[in-house]
Amino acid sequence: MCGIVGILGREPVAERLVEALKRLEYRGYDSAGVATLEGGHIARRRAEGKLRNLDLKLHAEPLNGTVGIGHTRWATHGAPTERNAHPHATEKVAVVHNGIIENFRELRHSLEAAGHVFRTETDTEVVAHLVTDEMNSGKAPIEAVAAALPKLKGAFALGFVFDGAPDLLIGARRGSPLAIGYGDGEMYIGSDALALAPFTDRIAYLDDGDWAVLSRNGAEIHDAAGHKVERPQIRSQASSFLVDKGNHRHFMAKEIHEQPEVVGHTLAYYLDMANDRVRLPKLPFDIASLKHVAISACGTAFYAGLIGKYWFERFARLPVEIDIASEFRYREAPLEPGGLAVFVSQSGETADTLASLRYAAQHGQNILSVVNVPTSTIARESHAVMPTLAGPEIGVASTKAFTCQLAVLASLAVAAGRARGTLSEVDEQRLVAALVAAPGLMAEALKLEPQIEALARNLSKAKDVLYLGRGTSYPLALEGALKLKEISYIHAEGYAAGELKHGPIALIDETMPVIVIAPYDRIFEKTASNMQEVAARGGRIILFTDAKGAEEAGVETEATFVLPDMPATITPFAYAVLIQLLAYHTAVVMGTDVDQPRNLAKSVTVE
Ligand code: F6R
């Protein structure tokens, strides 16, 4: 979603603002802008579309100010036009904003009644006018911001610069993340440490409700109640090199190919590979005495959680309830105190997942998060964190974060099974040995890329695609459909294969590709019957299976992809690679913006 940067520099900052914004591109955006003080007065350059358009504007009309703010906007209120692009400004203040100001309509009405003239449809513009209104009543910039913030409702991060104040930058955080960077005679704000990495590795994260007044000498941080507070400075690990695509055409391709390595790292963190045992960090609750697990997440992370549910229930005989976070947060689930609530999130900033976490914490749950960004809000608000070691995921469509989430959930489920006595030591060794083999099998799956690429050329002509699977292949079917629709814009649906007869079979005709994920397992025959039903109606079957599955399928397929035999526990890892490759190559054929698909954001910090 929107990205924020701000620099109080010693030299002109416009170029560096854009450089930092480029590092936030992965969050998704549809317009961008910067504001600096030129001769003490606010000057802005903004552009629709990609950052190169902003670059061109700055080239034509350079900005030379040494204090400035920048923004990539993912439209919520108002179309993604130049007029609605941030920074928004009055003659007194310029502001950049990530999140949603929920009470913007009321504020706008009262400000308009007081004579303020609005020029955009955005919720953000009210912040500029609200602060201006406070300044018009005689307040200095800092007091004006302090007076304005409590009047705003919603979740947001903000950055401000002020006309006539060349040594002042203010940042505020409620809900959406904001980091402060400490340089040598320079100070920075940014949505994350990755944006600031070229300038500094000394970072402090604002807590919820904090706001910070920056000068070139440092920062004074206030909490929501207005008390001065200290937030620890940490050394960020974010690389100052722009994470690059290596020799791949897209970040998504690179991230798909990285999976054997990063899943291997993640497994090595949780498993004692020499002895085929699980080795979890110490958890602040007793897994053995748990009665219930609640998992909550969004999108792809939700599907990882759904596969986790199958594992927890099978290995640890622990009942698991799983919810889409946007539902969980409002459905008022009764939670018996002492239960375990697990939150799965790549970014660790997803608004619905965070709200669900807070609900569970208020209801006495032990909070465990599986996150890829260990400094994220979700990680910081959890009682225990099990990081995925996927490294920065830049492609908007999640790939390596998903399989690393599987690695963590599988390790946890096996550990739970051991602690609860539902798995023997021999079972543990068998399961761990299987997990250790997963990266190698993912590498095998990558070898099928040329055939998948060929299939993608056909698939790109389809209007609708159906994905089917049973057991842990059912969440994979959902994930396959999500991946395809989000990057190729082809309509796709995932179904439990057993559900076919209950509705979706009506869609089957000779134009409909049906992708069946069916490793040969104890329920393969059931899926084979479903394939018969599809074949009988002329549907085009594309089968992902193994040698035995290919032999026993009993139907003619348009294409069959054969993976090596593998233990059932690790099929989601290897088969995930195939569905990712298929979505990726179909999108490439379609010519879409694979890494930044339309309308999508990497980190969904609004509801
Ligand atoms: C799909 C995708 C999204 C995210 C979802 C949750 O490819 O990336 O569905 O999985 O927005 O995001 P995180 O994991 O950051 O909470």
Confidence class for position 76, pLDDT limits 50, 70, 90: confident
User: Are residues 547 and 408 both part of a single domain?
Assistant: no
Residue 56 lies in a domain: yes
Tell which residue, 589, 600, 399, 599, has the closest CA to residue 488: 589
Which residue blocks in 24-119 are alpha helix, DSSP H? 51-60, 104-113
Task: Report, as an integer, the average pLDDT of 469-486.
Answer: 98
Please give the full DSSP string across 393-446, using - where no structure is assigned.
--SSS-SHHHHHHHHHHHHHHHHHHHHTTSS-HHHHHHHHHHHHHHHHHHHHHH
The number of helices, as runs of H, and strands, as runs of E, in the chain is: 19, 27
Å from CA of 326 to ligand 1 middle? 13
Task: Report, as an integer, the average pLDDT of 552-574.
Answer: 96
CATH number at residue 35: 3.60.20.10
Residue 240 lies in a domain: no
The model's pLDDT over 342-367, given as tens digits with 9 standing for 90+, comes to: 999 999 999 999 999 999 999 999 99
User: Are residues 311 and 430 both part of a single domain?
Assistant: yes
Specify the pLDDT at position 194.
Answer: 83
Q: What is the 3-state secondary structure (H, E, C) of 302-364?
A: HHHHHHHHHHHHHHHCCCEEEEEHHHHCCCCCCCCCCCEEEEEECCCCCHHHHHHHHHHHHCC
Confidence class for position 240, pLDDT limits 50, 70, 90: low
In this structure, which amino acid lies at residue 526?
K
Residue 242 lies in a domain: no
Q: Does pLDDT of 498 surpass 60? A: yes
Q: Please state, in angstroms and as integers, the Cα–Cα distance from residue 2 to each residue in 5, 74, 184, 498, 603, following that order.
A: 10, 5, 27, 41, 9
Asked if 411 and 267 touch (Cβ cutoff 8 Å), the reply is: yes
Q: Name which residue sits closest to atom 11 of ligand 1, judged by CA.
A: 299
Specify the pLDDT at position 241.
Answer: 55
User: Are residues 288 and 171 both part of a single domain?
Assistant: no
Q: Which of 370, 584, 604 to mutate to test the pocket of ligand 1 (most atoms within 8 A of CB)?
A: 604
- The Cα 428–Cα 127 span in angstroms is 56
- The Cα 176–Cα 377 span in angstroms is 9
More confident residue, 139 or 78: 139
Å from CA of 529 to ligand 1 middle? 33
- The Cα 542–Cα 559 span in angstroms is 5
User: Are residues 543 and 561 both part of a single domain?
Assistant: yes
Q: Ligand 1 atom closest to Cα of 299?
A: 9
Q: Ligand 1 atom closest to Cα of 298?
A: 6
Angle (nearest 5°) at CA 406 between 243 and 476: 100
| Residue 18: half-sphere exposure toward Cβ, Cα within 13 Å | 22
The residues facing 220 across adjacent strands are: 213
Query: With the C-alpha atoms ordered 194, 197, 201, 202, is the resulting torsion angle positive or negative?
Result: negative
Which residue among 424, 446, 468 closes a domain? 446
- What are the tokens at 404? 């690393």
Q: Does pLDDT of 239 surpass 70? A: no
User: Are residues 428 and 524 both part of a single domain?
Assistant: no
% of the chain residues with pLDDT over 90: 83
CATH number at residue 493: 3.40.50.10490
Q: Which of 295, 302, 324, 347 to mutate to test the pocket of ligand 1 (most atoms within 8 A of CB)?
A: 347
Phi, psi of 202 (to 5 degrees): -95, 110
Q: Please state, in angstroms and as integers, the Cα–Cα distance from residue 554 to each residue in 525, 535, 543, 545, 563, following that order.
A: 10, 10, 12, 13, 18
Å from CA of 147 to ligand 1 middle? 35
Task: Report, as an integer, the average pLDDT of 127-149.
Answer: 98
Q: What is the 3-state secondary structure (H, E, C) of 561-595?
A: EEECCCCHHHHHHHHHHHHHHHHHHHHHHHCCCCC
User: Are residues 419 and 555 both part of a single domain?
Assistant: no
Structural domain boundaries enclosing 439: 249-446
The residues facing 322 across adjacent strands are: 295
Residue 168 lies in a domain: yes
- What are the tokens at 89? 């400004």
Specify the pLDDT at position 121.
Answer: 87
Q: Ligand 1 atom closest to Cα of 302?
A: 10
| Residue 316: half-sphere exposure toward Cβ, Cα within 13 Å | 27
Weakest-pLDDT range from 241-255, 370-384, 446-460, 471-485: 241-255
Specify the pLDDT at position 375.
Answer: 85
| Residues with a CB atom less than 6 Å from ligand 1 | 298-301, 345-347, 350, 353, 397-398, 482, 486, 603-604
Q: Name which residue sits closest to atom 5 of ligand 1, judged by CA.
A: 299
Å from CA of 66 to ligand 1 middle? 36
Query: With the C-alpha atoms ordered 156, 159, 163, 164, is the resulting torsion angle positive or negative?
Result: positive
Residue 241 lies in a domain: no
User: Are residues 394 and 438 both part of a single domain?
Assistant: yes
- What are the tokens at 176? 């959406």
Phi, psi of 507 (to 5 degrees): -80, -15
Which residue among 446, 461, 477 closes a domain? 446
Name the active-site residue from 309, 400, 485, 602.
Answer: 602
Å from CA of 297 to ligand 1 middle? 8
The model's pLDDT over 183-230, given as tens digits with 9 standing for 90+, comes to: 999 999 999 888 899 999 999 989 889 999 999 999 999 999 989 999
- The Cα 195–Cα 179 span in angstroms is 10
Residue 489 lies in a domain: yes
Task: Report, as an integer, the average pLDDT of 6-35.
Answer: 92
Q: Which of 306, 329, 346 to mutate to test the pocket of ligand 1 (most atoms within 8 A of CB)?
A: 346
User: Are residues 391 and 276 both part of a single domain?
Assistant: yes
- What are the tokens at 192? 């994350």
The model's pLDDT over 288-338, given as tens digits with 9 standing for 90+, comes to: 999 999 999 999 999 999 999 999 999 999 999 999 999 998 998 999 999
Q: Name which residue sits closest to atom 9 of ligand 1, judged by CA.
A: 299
User: Are residues 437 and 468 both part of a single domain?
Assistant: no
User: Are residues 44 and 18 both part of a single domain?
Assistant: yes
Q: Name which residue sits closest to atom 3 of ligand 1, judged by CA.
A: 299
Query: With the C-alpha atoms ordered 495, 499, 501, 506, is the resulting torsion angle positive or negative?
Result: negative
Q: Which of 191, 255, 298 to mutate to test the pocket of ligand 1 (most atoms within 8 A of CB)?
A: 298
Q: Which of 74, 300, 328, 405 to mutate to test the pocket of ligand 1 (most atoms within 8 A of CB)?
A: 300
Specify the pLDDT at position 132.
Answer: 98
- The Cα 133–Cα 161 span in angstroms is 15
Please give the full DSSP string across 96-138, using - where no structure is assigned.
EEEEEETTHHHHHHHHHHTT----SS-STHHHHHHHHHHHHTT
Q: Does pLDDT of 339 surpass 70? A: yes
Q: Name which residue sits closest to atom 16 of ligand 1, judged by CA.
A: 345
Which three-class secondary structure state does DSSP give residue 95?
Answer: strand
Specify the pLDDT at position 317.
Answer: 96
Residue 602 lies in a domain: no
User: Are residues 214 and 261 both part of a single domain?
Assistant: no
Asked if 81 and 46 touch (Cβ cutoff 8 Å), the reply is: no
Å from CA of 346 to ligand 1 middle? 7
- Name, in order, each residue with C-beta under 8 angstroms of 419's C-beta and a sequence gap of 6 or more: 286, 287, 288, 316
Which residue among 446, 471, 498 closes a domain? 446
Name the active-site residue from 2, 57, 92, 309.
Answer: 2
Residue 512 lies in a domain: yes
- What are the tokens at 576? 């995930």
Q: What is the DSSP letter of 601?
A: -
The model's pLDDT over 409-447, given as tens digits with 9 standing for 90+, comes to: 999 999 999 999 999 999 999 999 999 999 989 989 999
> What is the chain's Cα-based Rg?
25
Å from CA of 474 to ligand 1 middle? 18
Task: Report, as an integer, the average pLDDT of 173-177.
Answer: 82
Which three-class secondary structure state does DSSP give residue 174?
Answer: strand
Q: Name which residue sits closest to atom 7 of ligand 1, judged by CA.
A: 397
Q: Ligand 1 atom closest to Cα of 601?
A: 11
Asked if 316 and 413 touch (Cβ cutoff 8 Å), the reply is: yes
Asked if 130 and 146 touch (Cβ cutoff 8 Å), the reply is: no
Q: Ligand 1 atom closest to Cα of 397?
A: 7
- The Cα 43–Cα 17 span in angstroms is 14
Å from CA of 299 to ligand 1 middle? 5
Q: Name which residue sits closest to atom 6 of ligand 1, judged by CA.
A: 298
The residue to which tokens 């703010």 are assigned? 69
Examine the residue annotation and report whether 404 is marked as an active-site residue of this protein. no
- The Cα 154–Cα 488 span in angstroms is 33
Number of domains within the chain: 3
Q: Does pLDDT of 13 surpass 90? A: yes
The model's pLDDT over 385-407, given as tens digits with 9 standing for 90+, comes to: 999 989 889 999 999 999 999 99
Task: Report, as an integer, the average pLDDT of 237-241.
Answer: 62
- The Cα 371–Cα 389 span in angstroms is 9
The length of the chain in residues reads: 607
Specify the pLDDT at position 244.
Answer: 67
In this structure, which amino acid lies at residue 371?
V
% of the chain residues with pLDDT over 70: 98
Tell which residue, 253, 311, 310, 319, has the closest CA to residue 290: 319
Å from CA of 358 to ligand 1 middle? 19
Q: Ligand 1 atom closest to Cα of 402?
A: 10
Q: What is the 3-state secondary structure (H, E, C) of 174-226?
A: ECCCCEEEECCCCEEEECCHHHHCCCCCEEEECCCCCEEEEECCEEEEECCCC
Specify the pLDDT at position 77.
Answer: 80
Examine the residue annotation and report whether 461 is marked as an active-site residue of this protein. no
Å from CA of 403 to ligand 1 middle? 13
Confidence class for position 341, pLDDT limits 50, 70, 90: very high
User: Are residues 435 and 481 both part of a single domain?
Assistant: no
